[in-house]
């Protein structure tokens, strides 16, 4: 899950504060939080802002920093490569389970895997994917 998707998730779990409320609670400018949520590339370069956001949302600082390297376009690239090369991919979901299989199709919202272990098919929404790797 990208940093932006995770911040959006944290915001929802906190009751949906708007960007102004977050700025008032953290000192992080509204445009910074908005950019983090809306960009499809690497964002969140300022560790001080991420530390403030981590404290505001009550999560470890590291939960935000490692997600900088998992921006949305990288997941698209991984799904594209897995499908083009007919290689399996492993998708780890935010709540723990992992699925391995071949990509049957993907778009900006979801992907369908033909599972390696059971031989069945599984549709996974992209916002639930916490981590991934080509196998």
Of 100, 101, 105, whose CA–CA distance to 80 is shortest?
A: 105
- Does 93 lie in the same domain as 58? no
Instruction: Indicate the residue among 68, 99, 120 that finishes a domain.
Output: 68
In this structure, the answer to whether residues 62 and 35 fall within a common structural domain is yes
* CA nearest neighbour of 82 among 106, 109, 98: 106
Tell whether 87 and 45 lie within a shared domain: no
Q: How many CB atoms lie within 10 A of CB 93?
A: 15
Last residue of a domain, one of 43, 68, 93: 68
Ramachandran bin of 96, using left for φ above 0, alpha for ψ from -120 to 50, beta for the remaining angles:
left
Please state whether the predicted TM-score (pTM) of the whole model is above 0.75.
yes
Residues 16 and 50 in one domain: yes
User: What does the pLDDT look like over 80-130, one tens digit per residue?
Assistant: 999 999 999 999 998 889 999 999 999 988 999 999 877 799 999 988 899
Do 49 and 87 reside in the same domain of the chain? Answer: no
CA nearest to 40, candidates 93, 103, 108: 108
Closest alpha carbon to 64 in 78, 48, 76, 84: 48
CATH number of residue 27's parent domain: 1.10.260.40
**Is 70 exceeded by the pLDDT of residue 40?**
no
* 111 and 92 co-located in one domain: yes
Angle at 17 between CA 12 and CA 21, to 5 degrees: 155
Pick the last residue of a domain from 68, 95, 111. Answer: 68
Residues 9 and 28 occupy one common structural domain: yes
Total domains in the fold of the chain = 2
| Averaged confidence pLDDT in the chain | 91
Where in the sequence is the domain holding 95, given as residue range(s)? Answer: 72-134
- The verdict on 10 and 64 lying in the same domain is yes
- Joined together, the tokens standing for residue 10 give 């944290």
Q: Are residues 111 and 126 in the same domain?
A: yes
């Amino acid at each position: 899950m990208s940093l932006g998707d995770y911040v959006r998730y944290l915001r929802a779990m906190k009751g949906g504060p708007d960007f102004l409320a977050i700025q008032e609670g953290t000192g992080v400018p509204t445009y910074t939080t908005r950019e983090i949520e809306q960009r499809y590339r690497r964002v969140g370069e300022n560790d001080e802002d991420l530390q403030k956001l981590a404290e505001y949302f009550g999560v470890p600082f590291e939960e935000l920093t490692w997600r900088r390297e998992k921006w949305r376009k990288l997941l698209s690239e991984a799904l594209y490569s897995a499908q083009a090369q007919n290689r399996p991919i492993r998708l780890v979901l935010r709540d723990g389970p992992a699925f391995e299989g071949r990509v049957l199709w993907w778009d900006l919202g979801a992907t369908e895997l033909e599972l390696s272990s059971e031989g069945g098919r599984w549709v996974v929404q992209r916002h639930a994917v916490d981590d991934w790797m080509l196998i």
